[in-house]
Amino acid sequence: MSRIGNKIITLPAGVSVTVDKNTVTVKGAKGTLVRTIDPDIIVEVEGNELAVKRPTEQKRHKALHGLYRALINNMVVGVSDGFKKDLELVGVGYKAANQGNILELSLGYSHGIFMQIPAELKVTTSMEKGQNPKVILEGIDKELLGQVSAKIRSLRKIEPYKGKGIRFVGEIIRRKAGKTGGKK
């Protein structure tokens, strides 16, 4: 029994879903998202409710049932509310700036890092005195947003001794104790 797959998705006002064979299109105030799903999975739209059903109890169908329900729900939330990821740069001399969708990062390397952010996402940076520089990513596609934020984060991974690197705002890092004592 799939608990997630059996949940009904309630469509907010202004969101419409169309299903054409194995393509699901979700339109809302913030934009349109399209996803191709497995032909075995059944998507039914009735009024302002959407249900995802599976044809059999095979292990493969059970796995896809919950997966596609979650993906379609993320599409509905994305076109109605949108998603946002906040990253903070922790370290001396770390800087972030953007010009349009080009992100410029100074992360302690001998050169600056320039990264082209996809057009579907909106990037903003803030550098306030006394606080760590922040990179804010916003968009309607949760999958793309997660991939881009993971790529930015991989440019300078969190170091467990001093906690320097790029992290999500509010993320808790497990710290290690450094060397102890001197000579015996």
Domains of the chain, with CATH numbers? 3-80 (3.90.930.12), 83-168 (3.90.930.12)
89-107 burial, b for 16+ CB within 10 Å, e for fewer? bbbeebebebeeeebebbb
- C-alpha separations of 59 from 54, 55, 69, 163 in Å: 11, 11, 16, 42
- Could you list the pLDDT tens digit for every one of the 184 residues in the chain? 568 889 999 999 999 999 998 899 999 999 999 999 999 999 999 989 999 999 999 999 999 999 999 999 999 999 999 999 999 999 999 999 999 999 999 999 999 999 999 999 999 999 999 999 999 999 999 999 999 999 999 999 999 999 999 999 999 999 998 887 666 6
- Record the pTM: 0.88
Residue 23, Cβ neighbours under 10 Å: how many?
12
In the prediction, which pLDDT does 184 show?
61
